[in-house]
Amino acid sequence: MSIVPQRMFYYWNHFPFEDCCRWLSYGNGYILSLREVSFGISDGMFFRNLSFNNALDFKLNARRINPERIDLGPVYNISPALAVIEQSKSLFKQSVTQREVVFDIDISDYEEVRTCCIGSNLCRKCWKYMAIACKVIDLALREDFGYCHILWTYSGGRGVHCWVCDEEARKLKPAEREAVGDYLQIIKSGAFNVKKVHFEKVPHPSVKRALQIIEPEFVKTCVEEQNILGTEEGMQIFLRMISSLCNSETVKEDLKEIFDTLETSGQRWKAFLDFFKKTNEWRTVFVAEELMIQYFYPRLDIGVTKVLNHLLKCPFSPHNKTQKICIPFDVEKVDDFDPTTAPNIPSLFAETQLEKAGETNLPALTKFREGVQVFQKFVSKLEKYKCYA
């Protein structure tokens, strides 16, 4: 069966419209009706500026249009549909009144530090980078900014999304969002053969906290699994970074000489640590820490955070290429999440038939329901701690 009727089946049987609208209402249905929703249909076309008054309205339209994907924009002062009518433009000036602070972390920004995959592939090994990013960002948002209503979703494709839904966050001005984004963006995306982090004295407390998360994982994940020092190319990237961190070409040559006598990534990493233990130069005191941050610190696509009207995939939306569901997950269990077996439209369709025939313990359905539970828990907490606008 083609994907189109299977997706229709998903909107009839699985998509949690009521829970989504409970979230987007923030206790006030009027807010929901001012939220821009976008339906992606085939060939990259979008129906933008849609809005729905309630869950039934949302549900009926999704079932009628059967979108490939659903995205969410901000909350406007007037109905998003009104704003596109030419005549109304002179009557109303459209402006954004609320938008969750959102983060988009994409595995393609880790190209220089991952060796297991390339392009849009995201395997369990790549997921370790995502897991570290989630933990570092989540903790910073809670401890440094005091936010508590944070939703994490796997996008169904190359990465994860974070929605910060506290009222204070939703009402931040663009410049304030930029400041939050800049604070969390130590590593900019793109090639990192130039110095990006350097601790002058002691690392900033938030970097120290990130290091506490990164350090225990580093050897197992980067040195061993990703084998960063196991190949000539990997060594070159590493040495370029070291010479940039220490501002010295000699260090690079000395280390290369040592590395060439060794065989494995693990041996080379150990030799690197020993090498710097012997030097007492103040500039190199934090070199190992700086390096771990360079490899592992979250790479954020900050444009998504800064811009108020940027669309972001709605939780539970299908992914238009992989057909995987954009599924919420519990950040405390992020290490156990497996993006390669995330539920998708065909598996949910097939397993629903099997369940009707009496089968139990079906993996895609189980994972989907776990995602719904995580989401419902998040919405209930929002409702309990009335942080409504």
Residues of this chain that bind Zn ion (CB under 5 A): 116-117, 123, 125-126
36 is catalytic: yes
| Residue of 23, 38, 30 whose CA lies nearest to 76 | 30
β-partners of residue 122 are none
Q: Which two tokens stand for residue 293?
A: 């941050």
Largest CA distance in the chain: 75
- CA-CA distance, 242 to 268, in Å (whole number)? 13
Q: How far is the CB of 121 from Zn ion (least distance, A)?
A: 6
- CA-CA distance, 55 to 132, in Å (whole number)? 35
Q: How far is the CB of 107 from Zn ion (least distance, A)?
A: 8
The residue from 19, 68, 100, 106 that is catalytic is 106
Q: How far is the CB of 125 from Zn ion (least distance, A)?
A: 4
Q: Which two tokens stand for residue 137?
A: 């960002």
106 is catalytic: yes
DSSP code for 44:
T
Between residues 126 and 387, which has the closer beta carbon with respect to Zn ion?
126
Q: How far is the CB of 114 from Zn ion (least distance, A)?
A: 6
- State the angle between helix axes of 124-143 and 205-218 in degrees (0 to 180), rounded to the nearest 10: 160
β strands within 138-265, DSSP E: 150-154, 159-164
104 is catalytic: yes
Q: Which two tokens stand for residue 324?
A: 């995987």
Any residues with CB less than 8 A from the CB of 168 and at least 6 apart, and which?
147
Q: How far is the CB of 170 from Zn ion (least distance, A)?
A: 34
- CA-CA distance, 248 to 102, in Å (whole number)? 39
- CA-CA distance, 284 to 245, in Å (whole number)? 8
Any residues with CB less than 8 A from the CB of 275 and at least 6 apart, and which?
254, 255, 258
Between residues 117 and 258, which has the closer beta carbon with respect to Zn ion?
117
Q: How far is the CB of 222 from Zn ion (least distance, A)?
A: 13
Q: How far is the CB of 271 from Zn ion (least distance, A)?
A: 26
- CA-CA distance, 56 to 368, in Å (whole number)? 22
The residue from 68, 71, 100, 104 that is catalytic is 104
Place of tokens 């225990």: 216
Q: Which two tokens stand for residue 186?
A: 């130590």
Between residues 117 and 213, which has the closer beta carbon with respect to Zn ion?
117
The residue from 36, 71, 100, 166 that is catalytic is 36
Burial of 286 (0-12, 13-18, 19+ CB in 10 A): buried
Q: Which two tokens stand for residue 273?
A: 């640590």
Between residues 24 and 105, which has the closer beta carbon with respect to Zn ion?
105
Between residues 123 and 308, which has the closer beta carbon with respect to Zn ion?
123
Residues annotated as catalytic (active site), given as ranges: 36, 104, 106
